[in-house]
Structure 1
Amino acid sequence: MVESMLIGMAEYYSAELALKVARGERENALQCKYNGGVVPLGFTIGKEDRLYHIDPETAPIVQEIFTRYADGEPAEKIAASLNERGLRTRTGKPFVKNSFFQIFRNRRYIGEYRYKDIVTPGGIPAIVDQDLFDRVQQRFEQNRIAHGRPAKEDVSYLLTTKLFCGKCGTLMGGESGTSHMGNTYYYYKCGNAKRHGKAHCDLKAIRKEPLERFVVDTAIKVIFSDEIIERLIDLVMDAQQKENTRLPVLKEQLRDTEKRLANLLEAIEQGVLTPTTKQRLDELEARKEALNTSILEEELKKPVLTREWIRFWLEKFRKGDVGSTEHQRQIIDTFVNSVYVFDDRVVLNFNFTDDAKTVTREEVLGSSAVDNAPPKQESLTSVRGFFVASSTNPRQSRTVQGSNSTAAPQAGQSKP
């Protein structure tokens, strides 16, 4: 957690710098000036005004590409023709079919300046007219539908490496299936069952989205209560003090040096002043200065987290958008140790110590979180320094009060 907070602090300063840069870029955009990136083929950037200008050497190439494609010539043939003449892309590479995709979609060629949410029609000189651009878009879209394949959806399985089968202890992995209506559904399935079939493990696959949301909702309710947040702050402050072993030693040496200096000055005040005393005074003064420098260097290496900063960082998780995949990922990566799925319940284990070891199935089975009967009320038991808390419904998980390392709420009866 300390590591994540330090990253967060670095992100804060980075974000502040980015804000200043963004402010300057926005001012440029309002004046239709160049804001970085690869300059499209056919344009040059003025060295003094930073505005887009038509390149008389390469703009005719862009016009030729648009015209030939709009007239029905295949992209492969256009690319071969340009390469035979020794022409190259903006990056100096030979033309291929894919070289034209960005060219055809680039609205700068009809004079439209665009930077994030700022769009200025006519903000830069046009290389092709609107009619030619529209004809190219129409043909490009027809070819895409006729020959293109839909892009594979990028699905993130947030519990990967943390989700285990409660029956056999094997890691569970993601898979998908399509219904007769054409809808795609995503699941987590026991790796043993995936590889060897139900004969080796008959745990049913569990839907991805409800399970991940249940884990995140439970984490928020368990970890981010006011009492647990204060306890976590205490733990982080203690861990922070223990992490830097050199700093406490330097501070202790400084205290010892200052004590010796005080004793020596007291002796001098009483009239004890010899060449040896003066030499010793100079040595102690030099040592004190060196220690102060070393302490400052150590503190600069790793800024000290305050209680207010830690509380702000934890509140960010409690008040974040739980519907955001990135927010869910941060909570799972930072706080979730492991998740065990059984036929009638789900057991969660959370990280509250610097012990990176994953809670084992044997430890989970040894706790009251997997008793045969669902608990009548919330229970709290200890598993190798981890707290295991039980609740009867994954959709109505309760806040757990604990004072040790890991909380693990249990889902009973129905799967999320």
Structure 2
Amino acid sequence: MKAVIYARYSCDHQREESIEGQLRECKEYAEKNNLTVIGSYIDRAMSAKTDNRPQFQQMIKDSGKQMFDAVIVWKLDRFARNRYDSAHYKAQLRKNGVKVVSATEVISEGAEGIILESVLEGFAEYYSAELSEKVIRGLKENALKCQYNGSPIPIGYVIDEDKHYQLNPLTAPFVKDAFEMYASGRTIKEIVEFLNSKGVKSSYKKDVTKTTVAAMLKNTKYRGQYKYRDVVIEDGVPRIVTDELFQKVQERLAKNKQSRSRFKAKVEYFLSTKMICGDCGVLMVGECGTSKNGVVYNYYKCSNVKKRKGCHKSSIKKELAEELVLKKVMNEMFTEDMIEDIADSVMKLQKRDNAAIPLLKEQLAEVEKGIENMLNAMQSGILTKSTKKRLDDLEAQKEKLEIDIMREQLQEEVLTRDKIVFWLRKMKDLDLAQDDNKRILIDTFVNSIQVFDDKLIVSFNNREGASGIALLTDGCSAGRGLGELPTRTLR
């Protein structure tokens, strides 16, 4: 399983673990649990209270490219600024087949917090349109003027004072070279080497990668097209390549994509990051094998068995393990008493979380006062580039704070106790043949599964203790539970 590390260091927390310390513990966790770390995303002197974390945003974007299967964080508070954002970004990662794991927290999050995030995700349609309407309206106005809207600036362009795209005379010629090279049969790897040899950097000031070039070759801005949502304006951006050259590149990209489509569909192991070897305590990972007659088998295997580190734990069939765990969740999490208890706990946590609203309103009042002062100065004849820029910055802060307040208020209004109960009862009737439903149930309620030769021990997020499932010696379920078991230390 491939993983990346996300680390963040806040300048206002001098005593917290350093970036180096966070990386070290995350790498130790990965090594212990047979996760292959392929890279790190690091935001220095950044706060989780803002979305302006360039490496975090790049990680979210890269998750859609099937580059990795898990994100390792030192602690889960490194991940997001509030409960809503945590739910929002985890949902994005989950849709891309990526899980978030903590290197230092055995029980990944407070039980009610996990369930609240799932409820937030489940009710997203109630408030996502309202939250985004104001932002989209402003960005659409920019788009109609072909103005920059905040996404990474493509290689070959710069943004002028009026927020319009202009050609970068230093890098635009190399972009044209890249298109011509690919159209003439050169590989993306060769183009990467060429651009790096010329000192071309990505929008994040890093060396160009295959991902950078692949995105470049598909970007319609290079043929002069400005595009934002449903706004498409031809010749809204200075073009770098002709329509003919762009089309030739698209045809070759499409041909290469078809040749790669023969690969097998990716199998999702829903219990990965939760299933733990009962003998040695490390994660069990998804594996597949093919029998002599060509039948493919999927199963979970102890990482130490895979690495031949002395453990001899038997593997367990994927379908069996997932079926047993899901059945246990359905039987124990959706009694009427449990639904009422969960709803009470989630409402208490939500009330505690909404203490952020007064602080946000206080910050908004300060920003509005700053705007008033700037307007008074301008009316008095003080009008310079710096005062105009300062006013623009304050207006942007005001808009962002208003959205944050709306987000918190909508969360409070939408998530009534009745709606939480409704959502939990709806989960009880989920079709377990659907992969999305399996994922939701396991991620919401299951904290860990310890695997022994004769039983599985399931620990839930929302209650103390654990529950056992008996297994026959051939790895099949005996069809009976073992009752309540004490919680066992997992790491």
Q: What is the TM-score with the length of structure 2 in the denominator? A: 0.45
| Structure 1 unpaired stretches of 5+ | 244-302, 373-377, 387-416
Give 1:59's aligned residue. Answer: 172
DSSP-derived class of the 2:234 partner:
coil
Residue deviations 1:200-243, cap 9 Å, x none? 66x5x443245325533542354224454235446777x87xx9
Tell me the amino acid that sits aligned with residue 135 of structure 2.
V
More divergent stretch after superposition (9-18 vs 128-137): 9-18
Q: CA RMSD in A?
A: 5.5
CA shift in 2, pair 1:326/1:147, >3 Å:
closer
Looking at structure 2, the residues matched to 37 and 192 of structure 1 have their Cα atoms a distance apart, in angstroms, of 43
Cα 1:98–1:384 change in 2 (3 A) is closer
Aligned to 1:129: 242
For 1:212-223, what aligned pairs fall within 5 Å after superposition?
212-223=322-333
Match of 1:252 in 2: none
Aligned to 1:336: 446
2:484 maps to: 383
The residue that corresponds to 2:150 in the other structure is 36
The gaps in structure 2 that reach 5 residues or longer are 1-110, 353-411, 474-478
**Post-superposition offset of 1:25:** 3.8
Match of 2:340 in 1: 230
Q: Does structure 2 conserve the Cα–Cα contact (< 8 Å) formed by 1:163 and 1:339? A: yes
TM-score when normalising by structure 1? 0.51
Q: Residue 453 of structure 2 contacts residue 471 of structure 2 at CA under 8 Å; is this kept in 1? A: no
* Equivalent in the alignment of 2:321: 211
Could you say which residue in structure 1 is the equivalent of 2:220?
107
> Could you tell me which residue of structure 2 aligns to residue 300 of structure 1?
none
Distance, in Å, in 2 between the alignment partners of 1:337 and 1:76 is 42
| CA 358–114 in structure 1, closer or farther in 2 if over 3 Å, else same | farther
1:125-184 Cα deviation digits (max 9, x unpaired)? 44322321233345556778999997995844425444566xx79775432224568775
- Do the aligned partners of 1:159 and 1:212 also contact (CA within 8 Å) in 2? no
Q: Is the aligned partner of 1:308 residue 2:418?
A: yes
The Cα of 1:187 is off from its aligned counterpart by: 0.8
> What letter is aligned with 1:331?
L
Cα-to-partner distance string for 1:36-66 (whole Å, 9 max, x where unaligned): 2112123344544x45455566433322332
Residue 3 (structure 1) aligned to one of 100, 113, 133:
113
Q: 2: CA distance between counterparts of 1:141 and 1:51?
A: 31
Cα distance in structure 2, aligned partners of 1:80 and 1:236: 53
Distance between the aligned counterparts of 2:258 and 2:198, measured in 1? 31
The alpha-carbon deviation at position 370 of structure 1 amounts to 7.4
Structure of larger gyration radius:
1
Once residues 140 and 358 of structure 1 are traced to their aligned partners in structure 2, the CA distance between those partners, rounded to angstroms, is 51
Is contact 1:337–1:358 with CA below 8 Å preserved after alignment? no
Q: Are the structure 2 counterparts of residues 196 and 313 from structure 1 closer, same or farther at C-alpha, using a change threshold of 3 Å? A: same
Aligned partners of 1:108 and 1:333: how far apart in 2? Answer: 39
1:227 and 1:358 mapped to 2: Cα distance? 18
Matched residues, number = 306
